[in-house]
Amino acid sequence: MDRPQIPIVLGVSFYTLLYLHYKYDLIARWKGEPIYNDYSYIKQAAERERATRLAALSSFPTSETSLSSSSTG
């Protein structure tokens, strides 16, 4: 036990790099590959779902036109 600080420093460094890789996906960033831990895929899926719902709603006649035509007649 001459130098107990060396294993401690190596352990702390290892777990720090492990945490940073888990949090930021460092290898994918270095390689330029897409990363999936920023929840961008959820935002893209929500936008696609919103666009399809808006397209489906715009294809049906609105309730305002049916209400106005029934109230006038």
Dump pLDDT digits (tens) for 18-69. 998 888 888 888 888 877 777 777 888 999 999 999 998 888 765 555 555 5
pTM above 0.85, yes or no: no
Q: How far is CA 3 from CA 7, 9, 11, 14, in A?
A: 8, 11, 14, 18
The count of C-alpha atoms lying within 13 angstroms of the C-alpha of 5, restricted to the half-sphere facing its C-beta, is: 0
Domain segments of the chain: what residues?
A: 14-59
